[in-house]
Structure 1
Amino acid sequence: MADRPGRWLNMLAALVFLLQASAQSECFESASERESLLQLAEDRFDLYDDSGWRLVSSRGGHCRIPAAELILDYIDLSDEEGLERSYLLHWHAGQLFAFADETADALRQFRLAYVSPQSSSDAIVAWNAYVTGTIAFLEDDWSGLTQARAEMPSVNAPNRPVLDGLINCFGQPYRVAYSQRCRRLTDNSE
């Protein structure tokens, strides 16, 4: 009887492994598809809806983590220094983890998504404020989130509506707060 808890833990670990393997197999048409996606050029892998990680993610919510892991494998195989926009790949992996409620993994990737401020261009300042605000949201840091939004250099910054949504639906899961519905809500606290 003494070994029974250990046996149950082993069975539970095996079940988790099988469920993860099942999700992987449902998210890729074949093992060769996964390998083919890892060979794509950076733009094709990251920016096109019909290929790369976006294709995998489009196969259902259960494919978010396999898509994020695909991005991380792509970064590893591509030598991060040779990538033109590694920050954006880390960002997209972070979003996929956040949509799947894997906050620790999301935060780890978001922290790698900052752009070095080689200049103080509005685009770089806006991007880094967006990253900071998203991290603050996931850390339940209201003050950090609202400060990041205030640091956006322009009302027309492309990600400002996303931060507005995170503010409007603060306390909700990322997948809810990121939605168009939350972006359209009026924040009466200003």
Structure 2
Amino acid sequence: MLSLNFAEFDQSSGGWRILADWGCYRGAAAVIRRYVAAGGAALTPPERAILYFHLAQMLASTGDRTAALSALGLSQRASAQQSKRFASWDVYVQGTIAFLRQDRRSLIDAITGLEKTAAGQAGTAKLVTELNLATLRGLRDCFVKDYSVAYSSECAVARPHVSLPPARGTQP
């Protein structure tokens, strides 16, 4: 699994997600950690940020909010490094942090920020923002529940299907 390219490891069912689908969140977190360590400089900053975010999701799903918050801090990108395609990333991360800290006001602020961002976007960027917005709305709607429940389909508002272009090094 550690020899997979980023898209195969992170964006398909052949990587860490197979463990998560089985409910093995600690195992998925451990594999993500090993993959990041093994990937070193070969991972781009956006790939590393996404992996840390998914690590945080797995840790939050085990109930370890402290470790999840630490990983979320590593998943943020400095605004100067963001491309337009990922302009809403930090807002999404901040919304997730707000949920884990049980800060409803900041979660609502993140939702409002993503709504404004989505209004000015088109194409893939808009679809990604809408997906993240739907996720934050689900966290808001199930604010008092554990992360694994609030993130699940039990609490999710309709999430749009997002088909992203292939990542570097993959075949279309």
TM-score exceeds 0.5? yes
Equivalent residue for 2:5, pick from 34, 37, 41 = 41
Match of 1:54 in 2: 17
Equivalent residue for 1:126, pick from 88, 93, 99 = 88
| 1:137 and 1:145 in contact (8 A); partners too | yes
Unaligned runs of 5+ in 1: 1-36, 186-190
Equivalent residue for 1:91, pick from 53, 58, 66 = 53
Change (3 A) 1:74 1:119: closer
Compute the displacement of 1:111 (Å).
1.2
Partners of 1:109 and 1:119 lie apart in 2 by: 19
Partners of 2:29 and 2:39 lie apart in 1 by: 15
Match of 1:113 in 2: 75
Give secondary structure in 2 for the equivalent of 1:151. Answer: helix
Give secondary structure in 2 for the equivalent of 1:154. Answer: helix
| 2:135 and 2:157 in contact (8 A); partners too | no
Letter in 1 for 2:104: W
Compute the displacement of 1:143 (Å).
1.2
Letter in 2 for 1:39: S
| 2:49 counterpart of 1:76 | no
Match of 1:144 in 2: 106
| 2:135 and 2:151 in contact (8 A); partners too | yes
Q: Which has the higher contact order (CA 8 A, sep 6+)?
A: 2
Partners of 1:129 and 1:69 lie apart in 2 by: 26
Identity %: 32
Aligned-residue CA RMSD (Å):
2.0
Looking at CA atoms only, which structure, 1 or 2, has the larger radius of gyration?
A: 1
| 1:117 and 1:124 in contact (8 A); partners too | no
Question: Cα deviation per residue 1:135-190 (whole Å; 9 max; x = unaligned)?
Answer: 010001111111111111125522111111111111211111112332339xxxxx
Unaligned runs of 5+ in 2: 120-125, 159-172
| 1:87 and 1:113 in contact (8 A); partners too | yes
Change (3 A) 1:53 1:143: same
TM-score for both structures, normalised by structure 1: 0.69
Length, aligned pairs only: 145
Compute the displacement of 1:121 (Å).
5.6
